[in-house]
Amino acid sequence: MIGLHFLPGYPVALFILADRFLRCREEFTVQLFILATVSGMYTEAAFPFKWCDVMLLGGAVAAALFRYSPNVKHLITATALFILAVMLIATLSDEPMIVQIRLMRYYFLIIAFTIPLILFLHRRPDVDLLMRYILIYSLSMSAFYFIDGFILCGDVLVPCTPTAGGTPHNSVWNDLFWAPLTTYFPRKWPAGLFIWVIGAWIVAARYRLRPMLWIIIIAGAIACRTMTFLAGVVAVYLIGISPRVNLRRYIIPAAIGLFALYHLDASTGSFMRVASTVDQFIEVKDALETDDIAAVADFGSGRMAQAIPKLLLLVEQQCVFTGFGFIHPSESAINTGLLYKNDLYHDQSADNSLEMPTVVEVTQLQTVLQIGVIGLLVQSVFFFLTWYFVRDYRLSGLYLAVIIGVSVTGLGGFIGFIFPASLWVALALAITLLGGKNTLTNLITRS
């Protein structure tokens, strides 16, 4: 209702959150992270503040006000050192820190893992129930995508998830963007499905779903049709199921299935984008062999056209190790020496080809542009350490799977460790901690 600009939605949402906070903290936790990650349900303009900032501030306060077990202390110390390291690297940029903090703060959202710990300060959490609610909401999101994508054919149940190619207008409750029961099947971008980076592991490790639920999941994935994101979710699922199933037995059937799927998709004009994804790798291989930079730039749906000139500028400016800093696209005409014309874009109008070296739809390259190779190394070591500190916990496999899955989704510019959606990584870490001990007093010693 909030996403559709239906004003009664605000008190209704507040009532639901308050009721779940009082009656079921497990469901409230899931709802809180959906709210904080936006999840395609509303636009950030719907509130005068960003909920991810509330989570960042709340996580920092929770980390400072309570005394924790040694493992949690190690996590908080590592996070504090990571924040300090990123800020120190950022000081090497010519950009003012007041501008840089607008993007930099998303790197620090992992600290929100302390919020679920505090929510269960005075009661024992039911971790199985918490994961069950994650699965329920994951399935619900898949159902919403299926209904929006193939029945309502627009933006209704997930009203603020952009569709590929854009929409004539955003849906509002009395002026919906939809074409129900037509052959218009929009490709809905995956923000609402990000919860599956946790849900996939839960399905793999703990449940056997009915065929109807698998149909809903697959239909939601087809409505999304975003291969890099789906590859990350599949990676999480395979990691989760590997202790239960000998995956080597399925290599040949999987290869045959993918071969058949490729040719089926190719016959439909790559509706599911499987054939086009595979073809891109073939085309970029040929382009590299012939030194065709323009063809290489088209790889990754044009992502390389974004990245190549920015990386060349990084080398030219001798900023490979420390990056340009957190240059905000709407704020930083300050360092005009970095303004350049991107000749690799198909649209060479001034509005599209003149740009600052800011956004790249590959989160690992985005990190290099912002804090350099050193920063990427610091980030990688930090997340390895966070897993190392919880490796003996019962659910450590969940956290490791989420880290790997999010790294894969980041190749397409989704989730990564640098966007508000990285709060799902924080929740995975919190679940690992909550599930690893029998009582919360093992996590929080005293306030």
Q: Are 69 and 445 in contact (CB under 8 A)?
A: yes
Q: Which of 204, 120, 216 is nearest to 435 (CA)?
A: 120
Q: Mean pLDDT, to the nearest integer, of 376-404?
A: 96
Quickly count: other Cβ atoms within 10 Å of residue 433's Cβ.
27
Q: Taking 90 as the threshold, does the pLDDT of residue 247 lie above it? A: no
pLDDT for 350 equals: 46
Mean pLDDT, residues 192-204:
97
Query: Whose CA is closest to 4, among 229, 203, 170, 243?
Result: 170
Report which of residues 195 and 361 the model is more confident about: 195
pLDDT digits 0-9 by tens, 267-298: 877 777 787 777 777 776 776 667 767 677 77
Model confidence pLDDT, tens digit, residues 158-190: 999 877 667 767 899 999 999 999 988 989 999
> Distance (Å, rounded) from C-alpha 305 to C-alpha 296?
8
- pLDDT value, residue 441: 44
Residue 406 has pLDDT above 90, yes or no: yes
The answer to whether the CB of 224 falls within 8 A of the CB of 188 is yes
The confidence band for 404, taking pLDDT boundaries of 50, 70 and 90, is very high
pTM over 0.85: yes
Q: What is the pLDDT of residue 348?
A: 60
Question: Across all residues in the chain, what is the average pLDDT?
Answer: 88
The encoded tokens of residue 127 equal: 């971790």
Instruction: Indicate if the pLDDT at residue 399 is higher than 60.
Output: yes
Confidence of residue 438 (pLDDT cuts 50, 70, 90): very low
Residue pointed to by tokens 């930083």 = 332
Q: What is the dihedral of CA 13, 16, 21, 27, to 10 degrees?
A: -100
Average the pLDDT over 238-257 and give the result. Answer: 84
pLDDT in tens, 324-335: 999 887 765 555
The DSSP string of 250-289 is GHHHHHHHHHHHHHHHHHTTSTTSHHHHHHHHHHHHHHHH
- One-letter amino acid of 180: P
Structure confidence at residue 248 (pLDDT): 78
Place of tokens 């089926």: 264
What pLDDT score does 333 carry?
Answer: 53
Model confidence at 447: pLDDT above 60? no
Q: What is the pLDDT of residues 203-219, one digit of tens each?
A: 999 999 999 999 999 99
Confidence (pLDDT) at 121 = 87
